[in-house]
Amino acid sequence: MEPYVISFLVSMSCVTVIGFLGNVIVIVVYLFDRNLKSTTNYLFVNLSITDILIVLTCFPVGILDLINEGEWRLGELICLSDHFIENLLTSVSSLTLISISLERFYATMFPLHVRIVNSKKNLLALLIGIWLTSALISTPFISFTTYREENYNGTIISYCYNDRSLFYKIYSSTSTSLFVFAPSFILSAVYLIIIQKLKNINSSFEISLLEKTKRDRRSNFSISKSSSCSIFYSNKKECENYDFRKTSSVSFLKQKHSIFRNSSTSYLIAKRKQTITICLISLAFFFCQIPLKIFQLFNFFYKFESTTIEKDLIRFRIMNFIFLTTKFLYFLHGMSNPIIYNLMSTKFRRSFRKAVLCKL
């Protein structure tokens, strides 16, 4: 086995182990902390479950297939289900990210109606719909997979490979476009709209707060000044020079506006952080998925012509290196989400320390 192949195997093993442990922690934190129970976080849990299943199913099969160098030793059942499971989990991840993004879009654009939409019944129906739709779309890949056994001098050698028919190429390309390429562009537009909306909300808040402050100061001026003058000054001239801003009523008004400003600012910062977190998770997903999908489509539609043994060997090594790189990115996605949660969410870090570290 080539040295670079061994390096990739070690790297992918480390990434998948870290990703597995990280996603288990995410599930524990989100499910056992009542303060983190929301529609978005439940969808994050679904995303973590998908990443764990990828580690448990796709990773061992990929490693064994790589070690055996093309020979299939896992039996017909795993052969027929491998491509199905990979597409199923990819579709579930994609649909979950789309659901998270649309839920945030609706919550930002129509905040008064978000509680009606985010009910437990709707969430359960959404999760069931995501898995059923993904299973329905991925089922044809079972028929596109071929398991074959050949006898070489008394030795049975098994092979597992995908069909190269035109229908398979069209269906696989369409599925990849619908669940990987198209969502990347659609979600980019959705996030731009959300970010612009948050900016408008922030601007509107600043303007309304400024106008409210001016109105309250004008209405409070005459009361504050007259009452304070009558208490502290008997001379009319001294009363005219009295600085009403030092009165307790105006100080209370300033304090009230300061509390209102701080609470509203904290709300906007939290919303902005949540939006950035979802953006980063979506970006990580498509960044890790798209290279592998492009490589697979390239293999579907482009067929190399055999020349000399030396050139074929060089070409094989280059293609194998590209394949291992894209596969590494594919498994890297499982590790990225827990890191993003930990970096971006103060509540998650606090809950992690409370739920996990305190029990060790």
The 10s digit of each residue's pLDDT in 152-182 is 777 788 888 887 788 888 888 888 888 888 8
Return the higher-pLDDT residue of 146 and 119: 146
> What pLDDT is attached to residue 246?
46
Helix ranges (DSSP H) in the chain: 3-32, 39-53, 59-67, 75-109, 114-117, 120-138, 140-143, 166-176, 182-232, 236-240, 248-301, 309-344, 346-355
3-359 CATH fold: Rhopdopsin 7-helix transmembrane proteins (1.20.1070)
Q: What is the mean pLDDT of residues 238-264?
A: 48
- Segment 104-115 shows an average pLDDT of 68
Q: Which residues contact 309 (CB under 8 A, 6 or more apart)?
A: none
- For residue 189, give the amino acid letter: A
- pLDDT for 247: 47
Is the pLDDT assigned to residue 203 strictly greater than 60? no
**pLDDT for the residue 114:** 56
CB 6 within 8 A of CB 329: no
Average pLDDT, stretch 270-292?
82
DSSP type of residue 162: E
Q: Tokens in use for 111?
A: 């905040």
Which range, of 184-198, 214-228, 261-275, 277-291, averages the lowest pLDDT? 214-228
Give the pLDDT mean for 193-202.
72
Q: Which of 295, 282, 291 is nearest to 93 (CA)?
A: 282
Q: Per-residue pLDDT for 324 more than 50? A: yes
Confidence label for 221 from pLDDT (cuts 50, 70 and 90): very low
User: For residues 337 and 283, is the Cβ–Cβ distance under 8 A?
Assistant: no
pLDDT-based confidence at residue 133 (cuts at 50, 70, 90): very high
What is the percentage of the chain residues whose pLDDT exceeds 70? 72
* Residue 224: pLDDT band with limits 50, 70, 90: very low
The chain-wide mean pLDDT, for the chain, equals: 76
| Residue 302 confidence (pLDDT) above 60 | yes
pLDDT surpassing 70 at residue 207? no
* Main-chain phi, psi angles of 149, to 5 degrees: -120, 135
CB atoms within 10 A of CB 210: 11
pLDDT > 90? residue 276: no
Residue 52's pLDDT is what?
Answer: 93
Q: What is the pLDDT of residues 7-21, one digit of tens each?
A: 888 888 888 888 899
- Which residues are paired to 158 by β-bridges? 149
Scan for tokens 């998270």, then name that residue: 100
pLDDT at 336: 86
- Which residue in 76, 63, 55 sits closest to 161, CA to CA? 76
48 pLDDT band, cuts 50/70/90, is very high
Residue 215 pLDDT more than 80? Answer: no
Phi then psi dihedrals of residue 9, to 5 deg: -60, -45
What does the pLDDT read at residue 270?
Answer: 66
Q: What confidence tier does 333 reach under pLDDT thresholds 50, 70, 90?
A: confident
User: Sorting pLDDT into bands at 50, 70 and 90, what band is 353?
Assistant: confident
pLDDT of residue 286: 86
